[in-house]
Structure 1
Amino acid sequence: MIHFLRRSSLAVFCAALAAAPVSAADVNSGDYLPAPAGTNLLVFYSQYATRDEYVSSSGQNFSNDTGLDSYVNILRYVHYFDIGGFTVAPQVLIPAGTLYNGRFEGTAFDAAAGVADPILATTVWVVNNKATQTYIGIMPYLFLPVGQYSAGQVLNLGENRWKLDLQVGWYQGLTNAVALQLTGDVVWYGDNTQGGNGTQTLSQDPTYQLQAWLSYAFAPTWSAAVGYSQFWGGTEYLAGMPTGNATDRSQVRLELSKFVTPTFQVLGLIQRDVAASGGFPEAFRGTVRLLQVF
């Protein structure tokens, strides 16, 4: 279990955290509502998260001088066009930031800063029915292993492995002001051959996620939403042995957005894990998103 591991093996605990702040699988409440062909979006996310305990996959809780903070910015570009009767939105995401205040039972970790793994993605709407307000899209995300990574270091922004996330989303307008959005993900992980002490192989089982958003446009330029996310799976192994890490967690979310002008939106989001095992639960995550349509 976790309390028998040496400092070199503690690197494994934080390997999953390095990408958690920039997880492309997380969606906002209107992400599966397509824009007209020819539309471009430039999106900027600024995100802070804090964690003050570690819970192993067996349920052991470690909260004495334990935690991790992160501050991450993401720049995202999206372009919409029609092809063969389908609306398609290719996009690229560039995350960068810092992981700091990392510690486990009094053992402090060096901070990490830099660019995380860039992400290439494309949404294809297989259902795009404006009359019934029904939209269904399929979106693969490919994480490129070129972000900041130092073998043997506990905290890294990059994961030093390929990662593929396949997401399916359904957006359904219930009234002119109320909408429901549901998404499901499965994530496959390549091996990190420089895990642990820098010479060990870190592998991980697939991760699964379900997200639900209920949004309400309570004024012409304002919208609020409540959300829930459930993660499971993702058991990690270092040199073939379980590390105690996984991705089991339940999370609640609140979102508020406003179009300041017809083409510029400001969105605020707060999140908190309400149950978790196999990692560092997020005590708080706050995000500000700026979106420019052109």
Structure 2
Amino acid sequence: MIRSFKDIVLAIVCALFAGSSAWAADVNSGDYLPAPAGTNLLVFYSQYATRDEYVTASGQTISNGTGLDSYVNILRYVHYFDIGGFTVAPQVLIPAGTLYNGRLGGASFDAAAGLGDPILATTVWVVNNKASQTYIGIMPYLFLPVGQYSAGEVLNLGENRWKLDLQAGWYQGLTNGVALQLTGDVIWYGDNGRAGNGTQTLSQDPTYQLQAWLSYAFAPTWSAAVGYSQFWGGTEYLAGVPTGNETERSQVRLELSKFITPTFQVLGLVQRDVATSGGFPEAFRGTVRLLQVF
């Protein structure tokens, strides 16, 4: 029975946590506000998440003897420059962490630890209007399949497949420190030829995501924001057979940030899934982000 449980959840566990892929498409409330050309950012994320149930694509909830915890750190470097009248920000993200306390219906899974799939990304602002506080950018993320992956294991930090996330974002300053940010993503997945029992092929339909943030700079160095995210799509197939796993998720978010100095910011973020189909809902996810400008 454990073997069948492992086959059932292998795909979604990898998809959710390889290189913190759920995070990779995520944005904070001011990410589409560009910095001046020549600016560099060094960003460190430390993220803990816990889950205590699994919801099938048909709506069945498995909670007894079920859960999964994760602790992921991500180091990110960003450089801004102007080219051809556009502001551009190439960047690299390197995730590493551990997945532990994995279990489904009483069946336990070995923990995994190590490097996740590194991510290369570049933001190009096609609209950069400081006067109207209107900014529109396009950002592709490319996931490199070099993270920790052990064929036949349920929990892995890497996905053993290429992945491309194309994201577009719009940041609009409103009035009195209030701003709205909207982003949309489409994610395409390559095949993992070492899934399931280690010799089967895992494929996945594209995933889509919409995110919304409403932020308020209530003091010169403080900002707070509320957010919402909606995932859908992403039906998975193992050896050509649907696994019942998807990427359906609704999530609410709260964010608070402060610049301790003019060049150093601390940000805290809490998130919770309010509806999930075909996966492990996050009962809680907490993130601390440290950002250094130089």
- 3-state SS in 2 of match to 1:197: coil
In the other structure, the counterpart of 2:4 is 5
In the other structure, the counterpart of 2:84 is 84
Flag the 1:186–1:33 CA change in 2: closer, same or farther, 3 A.
Answer: same
> Cα deviation per residue 1:222-273 (whole Å; 9 max; x = unaligned)?
0000000000000000001111111001000000000000000000000000
Residue 146 (str. 1) matches residue 158 (str. 2): no
Unaligned runs of 5+ in 2: none
Q: Distance in 1 between matches of 2:8 and 2:231?
A: 24
> Cα deviation per residue 1:34-61 (whole Å; 9 max; x = unaligned)?
0000000000000000000000111111
In the other structure, the counterpart of 1:63 is 63
In the other structure, the counterpart of 1:21 is 20
Q: Distance in 2 between matches of 1:229 and 1:8?
A: 28
**TM-score normalised by the chain length of structure 2:** 0.97
Q: Distance in 1 between matches of 2:12 and 2:133?
A: 43
Q: Distance in 2 between matches of 1:160 and 1:4?
A: 21
Q: Distance in 2 between matches of 1:13 and 1:41?
A: 32
Please tell me the residue identity of whatever aligns with 2:82.
D
Count how many residue pairs are aligned between Structure 1 and Structure 2.
293
Q: Distance in 2 between matches of 1:242 and 1:145?
A: 23
Please tell me the residue identity of whatever aligns with 1:26.
D
Post-superposition offset of 1:92: 0.1
In the other structure, the counterpart of 1:108 is 108
> Cα deviation per residue 1:97-154 (whole Å; 9 max; x = unaligned)?
0000000000000000000000000000000000000000000000000000000011
Q: Distance in 1 between matches of 2:26 and 2:241?
A: 29
Post-superposition offset of 1:15: 2.0
Post-superposition offset of 1:19: 2.5
> Cα deviation per residue 1:162-216 (whole Å; 9 max; x = unaligned)?
0000000000000140000000000000000000000000000000000000000
Q: Distance in 1 between matches of 2:127 and 2:104?
A: 47
Indicate the percent of aligned positions where both proteins have the same amino acid.
Answer: 85
Q: Report if aligned partners of 2:163, 2:189 keep a CA contact under 8 Å in 1.
A: yes
Q: Distance in 1 between matches of 2:121 and 2:53?
A: 33
> Cα deviation per residue 1:55-79 (whole Å; 9 max; x = unaligned)?
0111111001101000000000000
Q: Distance in 1 between matches of 2:74 and 2:260?
A: 21
In the other structure, the counterpart of 1:54 is 54
CA RMSD of aligned residues (A): 1.4
In the other structure, the counterpart of 2:158 is 158
In the other structure, the counterpart of 2:31 is 31
Please tell me the residue identity of whatever aligns with 2:113.
A
Flag the 1:282–1:20 CA change in 2: closer, same or farther, 3 A.
Answer: farther
Please tell me the residue identity of whatever aligns with 2:4.
L
- 3-state SS in 2 of match to 1:29: coil
Residue 125 (str. 1) matches residue 107 (str. 2): no
In the other structure, the counterpart of 1:282 is 282
Q: Distance in 2 between matches of 1:37 and 1:254?
A: 30
Q: Report if aligned partners of 1:13, 1:243 keep a CA contact under 8 Å in 2.
A: no
Please tell me the residue identity of whatever aligns with 1:19.
A
Q: Distance in 2 between matches of 1:154 and 1:3?
A: 11
Q: Report if aligned partners of 1:228, 1:251 keep a CA contact under 8 Å in 2.
A: yes
Flag the 1:182–1:139 CA change in 2: closer, same or farther, 3 A.
Answer: same
In the other structure, the counterpart of 1:253 is 253
Q: Report if aligned partners of 1:99, 1:156 keep a CA contact under 8 Å in 2.
A: yes
- 3-state SS in 2 of match to 1:21: helix
Q: Distance in 2 between matches of 1:96 and 1:6?
A: 26
Q: Report if aligned partners of 1:9, 1:197 keep a CA contact under 8 Å in 2.
A: no
Q: Distance in 1 between matches of 2:8 and 2:230?
A: 27
4+ runs deviating over 6 angstroms: none
Please tell me the residue identity of whatever aligns with 1:207.
T
Unaligned runs of 5+ in 1: none
